[in-house]
Amino acid sequence: MSTLFESIKQGLGEAVEYERGKLPNVRVDKISVAPLHIYNRDEIKAIRLRHNMSQRLFAEALGVSTKTVEAWEAGINAPSGVASRMLELLTHDNTLLERYSIIARQ
């Protein structure tokens, strides 16, 4: 337990030293995250149709219920953050589902 405490204490001490400008050789990576796109009903349906999928199959591939996809496409509900990110990936990569063996075309 004391090893964990010492490690945390050292890390916090280094963070304080960095903030004070006393660790000039520390590499800092700055990362920005793109905002979530809010998909509307037409965009969702277009993504699904571009992948030649029924609502049921699209729902299975995304890990949601068919009722969820129906509600998205009816404009009743909107995709969650994770689902929106997946829709974004599907928008940019038509091979994603096959490449990661989520679906297999026969």
Structure tokens at 53: 């999928």
Asked if residue 35 belongs to a domain, the reply is no
Asked if residue 79 belongs to a domain, the reply is yes
Query: pLDDT for 41-86, tens place per residue?
Result: 999 999 999 999 999 999 999 999 999 999 999 999 999 999 999 9
> Are residues 74 and 53 in contact, defined by beta-carbon separation less than 8 angstroms?
no
Asked if residue 5 belongs to a domain, the reply is no
Domain of residue 71: give its range. Answer: 41-99
Asked if residue 21 belongs to a domain, the reply is no
**Half-sphere exposure for 95 (CA within 13 Å, toward CB):** 1
Query: pLDDT for 4-35, tens place per residue?
Result: 888 888 888 888 888 887 877 777 788 999 99
Can you give the pTM of this predicted structure?
0.74
CATH code of the domain containing 84: 1.10.260
| CA pair distance 90, 51, nearest whole angstrom | 9
| CA pair distance 85, 89, nearest whole angstrom | 6
Asked if residue 18 belongs to a domain, the reply is no
| DSSP code string of 42-90 | HHHHHHHHHTT--HHHHHHHHTS-HHHHHHHHHTSS---HHHHHHHHHH
Q: How many domains does the chain have?
A: 1
